[in-house]
Structure 1
Amino acid sequence: MERSAFFNSVAGDRKYKAETFAGYFSKFITNGIFPLPADNLRIAAYDRMDIKAHKGTGYINGYLYENTDSLILKVSTAHGVKPRIDKVVLRWSQVDRNIGIYIREGIPASPPTPPTLERGADIYELGLANIYVAQGAYEIREADITDIRLDTESCGIVNSILQADTTAIFNQYQSWFNLRTNQYNAELNAFLAEYEQNKADWQTELNSWTEAKKLWYENNLTQFLNEYALAKAEWLTDMNEWFTTTTSTFEAELLTKQEEYSTRAEDYLAQIESLRDSCYSF
């Protein structure tokens, strides 16, 4: 059957369906998102398990999609044991007659893989981002989101039928990102290892210093106590000797004085008796 389009209608003889226009445009405009602005339909972390789709425009099978404001989407609760990868898609539905952004939930596994894009006669999906949902996660971070808009096999940029393949650019960027991530992780791990080693060395030195000071204190304390005990013994000996000597000297001097006073007393008594006898003789 021959068909042609598009001509002015006369009395309604040239009516065209929406899919006719869509089919026409799809023949020379490729599926994808528009390149400007740079964050066109970019998926970003928002709040806890919520993510945000930026404003932007997409194109699927000749049909236009436009998001005029930030769209908030909620990621399903994380699995308690295994991680999973969800995929954010721009979905064209012939049955629902619309295009919208949805989250395709992945299957928890170790390691996890993202869902496959559905591309059939009634549903056609473009991948915008992969979301890594860690086991037990309560928050989606920017680091958990992998932007796949520039991957031609997943999404790509709207172009003419001579499409600019951005897969190589995307793969180059992803390779660079992975390289830098591994490099930074290696540097961080090396820094942490060096830090732990320095910490261990410092702790060893501190323990050695503490043990040395403790030993020095114990040795010096023992020496001090020994010297103190020896000095005390010597002092007591000297004190006892001095006391004994002083006591003996004092006792000798006291005895001498006692004998001297006794002799004097006897002399005085003799003199008194002599005087008494003299007085009685008269």
Structure 2
Amino acid sequence: MAEESSFFDSLIGSNGKLDREYNAEQYATYFKQFLTSGIYHKNNKPSLLVLEQPNELKTKVEAGAAYVEGYMYRNTDNIILTHAAAHSTNPRIDRIVVRLDRAESSRYIKVMVKQGTPATTPVPPALTRNNIVYELSLAQVLINAASTKVNKITDERLDESVCGLVSSLITIPTDMFKKEFDTFMAQVRDWFAAAQQNAYVTGGMNISIASTTPSNPKKNDLWIDTGK
């Protein structure tokens, strides 16, 4: 489809069907033009904080909300997540992710554990980001070898490469405006410089830019006092 537009009231066509129908993906595509994917904050405090459950292989995700590729996610209460048993000899790093899954069999956004691979020097599992699945990482969770509890949590909510806060994609090109204004002011300064010290201006008007009162001022002359 070369051209697409939305959203319009639907009417019943000659075939008896509505002639303007839209799916969730079209709405998401529209909304994702305005906001970045990420988590929401309240009073400058980011939501969906991940905490360990003491002495257990479990983590808790606090209430909050996220925005993922045009889709809304909201959690109104604490969520308890269970991690797989620790490896006997190697540590592992899991991730707590907000996962958007657009597959027909799924169609959801959920918070879940993304299990890592045990290794001598473990690394967190890579995030999946394609046209079906998109993940935001809330935290890394270290589980040491043979451990029966979570050993360390690394907050990733403010890391824009894996999560970040929701922000506007609509920006004002202030740099361009400033350049244009600076150019204009430079032209004004050049003009005044040429007229400085009682330079004659067509029409019989003298312009003086000085800190002292001009000598022999006439009606319609302009004095810009630089001493104030």
TM range (shorter): 0.5 to 0.7
Q: Which of 134, 151, 156 does residue 144 from structure 2 map onto?
A: 134
1:247 corresponding residue in structure 2: none
Encode CA deviations 1:3-57: one digit per residue, 9 max, x unaligned: 1111122222221111111000011111000022625111101241111010010
Deviation string, structure 1 residues 214-243 (Cα, Å, up to 9, x no partner) = xxxxxxxxxxxxxxxxxxxxxxxxxxxxxx
Is the strand fraction higher in 1 or 2?
2
The TM-score with structure 1 as length reference comes to 0.55
Task: Please give the residue correspondences for 1:63-102 in structure 2 after superposition, counting only pairs within 5 Å.
Answer: 63-95=71-103, 96-102=106-112
Q: Deviations over 1:91-121 (max 9, x none)?
A: 0001110000111111111111100101111
- The whole-number CA distance in structure 2 between the counterparts of 1:39 and 1:64 is 16
Aligned to 1:155: 163
- 1:55, 1:103 → 2: CA distance? 16
Query: Counterpart of 1:24 in 2: which secondary structure?
Result: helix
Measure, in 2, the Cα distance between the counterparts of 1:31 and 1:162. 14
Please give the TM-score of this superposition, normalised by the length of structure 2: 0.68
Unpaired stretches in structure 1, ≥5 consecutive residues: 164-282
- The equivalent of 1:46 in structure 2 is 53
Q: Are the structure 2 counterparts of residues 79 and 93 from structure 1 closer, same or farther at C-alpha, using a change threshold of 3 Å?
A: same
Question: What letter matches 1:33 in structure 2?
Answer: I
Tell me if structure 2 keeps the 8 A contact 1:41–1:56: yes
Which letter does structure 1 place at the counterpart of 2:53? Y
Stretches of 4+ aligned residues off by more than 6 angstroms? none
Match of 2:114 in 1: 104
Partners of 1:104 and 1:16 in 2: how far apart? 33
Whether the 8 Å contact between 1:56 and 1:66 is mirrored in structure 2 is yes
Letter in 2 for 1:80: S
Name the structure 2 match of 1:116.
126
Shift of 1:162: 5.2
**How far apart, CA to CA, are the structure 2 residues paired with 1:39 and 1:94?**
25
Letter in structure 1 aligned against 2:32: S
Q: In 1, distance between residues paired with 2:113 and 2:132?
A: 18
Which of 135, 140, 149 is the aligned partner of 1:125? Answer: 135
Matched, 1:2 2:3: yes
Query: Hey, what does 2:31 align to over in structure 1?
Result: 25
What does residue range 186-225 of structure 1 map to in structure 2 within 5 Å? none
Deviation at 1:60, TM superposition (A): 0.7
Percentage of matched positions with identical amino acids: 39
> Whole-Å Cα distance in 1 between the matches of residues 116 and 136 of structure 2?
16
- Corresponding position of 2:65: 57
In the TM superposition, residue 81 of structure 1 has moved relative to its aligned partner by 0.7
Matched AA of 1:90:
V
Q: Write out per-residue CA displacement over residues 225-270 of structure 1, whole angstroms, 9 at most, x where no aligned residue.
A: xxxxxxxxxxxxxxxxxxxxxxxxxxxxxxxxxxxxxxxxxxxxxx
Classify the secondary structure of the residue corresponding to 2:165: coil
Contact 2:34 2:169 in 1 (8 A): yes
Give secondary structure in 1 for the equivalent of 2:168.
coil
Distance 2:144 2:150 in 1: 9
Shift of 1:2: 1.5
Contact 2:46/2:165, CA 8 A, preserved across alignment: no
C-alpha distance after superposition, 1:149-169 (max 9, x if no partner): 100000011111158xxxxxx
- Give the match for residue 202 of structure 2: none
Aligned partners of 2:161 and 2:46: how far apart in 1?
Answer: 19
Question: Comparing both structures, which one devotes a greater share of its residues to helix?
Answer: 1
* Mapped contact 2:39–2:46 kept (Cα < 8 A): no
